[in-house]
Chain A
Amino acid sequence: DTAVSQTPKYLVTQMGNDKSIKCEQNLGHDTMYWYKQDSKKFLKIMFSYNNKELIINETVPNRFSPKSPDKAHLNLHINSLELGDSAVYFCASSQVRDTYEQYFGPGTRLTVT
């Protein structure tokens, strides 16, 4: 009965590889987000989708590509991983124009070696 779930929890990979992180929410929310939290704990938005439409696309390298197959899922694919991509990635969801608060997943700790 987890509200926002992410897989995997940990991801260790080498530079140059391609990896994906999956996110699912069972709250019936219409908007989902990807955030990156760096080593200094700064949480910064990367993307958001509202009803499967991309509405926020921050200045993120185009090696990062989100994909929303339906309202309950938002995946993040990363190509050609670099050392600087190491961080914790959080998925979140909300029902905008209603309650506004965001519900976060447990995070995926990505380590690029």
Chain B
Amino acid sequence: SQKIEQNSEALNIQEGKTATLTCNYTNYSPAYLQWYRQDPGRGPVFLLLIRENEKEKRKERLKVTFDTTLKQSLFHITASQPADSATYLCALDRGSTLGRLYFGRGTQLTVWP
């Protein structure tokens, strides 16, 4: 079965630094990899999607990389702010079943002033 691991349950960094979150997967290679943000008491919110043939994707202060050889995705938040504090979820789509996503357990990011 698909296994997704996010590097740590919690990550604490100082405001202004770059936060780097890791998502590793085993077994099947995903056709797409997505990152979501979840705030306490709310549903996940889509942030970025990267396809298997893409190496990097950017959106404002966010950057996602995808290395199919290492079976790893890195999610970066540059110039982090306290408002970036949330849980970030990695999700894989193997492309075989319409919209079926395998989620990691998430990394809780705390940005302190």
Residues of A in contact with B (beta carbons under 8 Å apart)? 4, 31, 33, 40-45, 48, 50, 55-56, 90, 92, 94, 96-97, 100-107
User: A106 and B43: CB pair below 8 A?
Assistant: yes
How many contacts A-B (CB < 8 Å)?
Answer: 57
Residues on A with C-beta less than 8 A from B87 are: 41
> Which listed residue (B34, B99, B103) contacts A43, Cβ 8 A?
B103
* Pairs of residues from A and B, 9 with the lowest C-beta to C-beta distance, nearest first: A104-B43, A101-B46, A43-B103, A96-B98, A96-B99, A104-B44, A31-B99, A94-B99, A90-B43
Residues on A with C-beta less than 8 A from B103 are: 42-44
Residues on A with C-beta less than 8 A from B44 are: 43, 90, 102, 104
Residues on B with C-beta less than 8 A from A45 are: 100-101
Mask for B74-113, Cβ within 8 A of A = 1, else 0?
0000000000000101000100011111010110000000
User: B43 and A50: CB pair below 8 A?
Assistant: no
Residues of B in contact with A (beta carbons under 8 Å apart)? 32, 34, 41-46, 49, 87, 89, 93, 97-101, 103, 105-106
Residue of B nearest to A91 (CB): B43
With A33-B99, A43-B103, A104-B45 given, can you name 14 additional A-B contacts, CB distance below 8 Å? A31-B98, A42-B103, A42-B105, A50-B98, A55-B98, A56-B97, A97-B98, A100-B99, A102-B44, A102-B46, A102-B101, A103-B46, A107-B41, A107-B42
Q: How far is the CA of A50 from the CA of B89 in the complex (A)?
A: 24
Q: How far is the CA of A56 from the CA of B102 in the complex (A)?
A: 13
Residues on A with C-beta less than 8 A from B49 are: 100-101
Interface centre among B42, B43, B93, B97 (most CB of A within 10 A): B43
User: B43 and A55: CB pair below 8 A?
Assistant: no
Residues on A with C-beta less than 8 A from B89 are: 43
A27 to chain B, nearest CB (A): 12
Residue of A nearest to B102 (CB): A45
Q: How far is the CA of A92 from the CA of B97 in the complex (A)?
A: 16
Residue of A nearest to B95 (CB): A100
User: A105 and B34: CB pair below 8 A?
Assistant: no
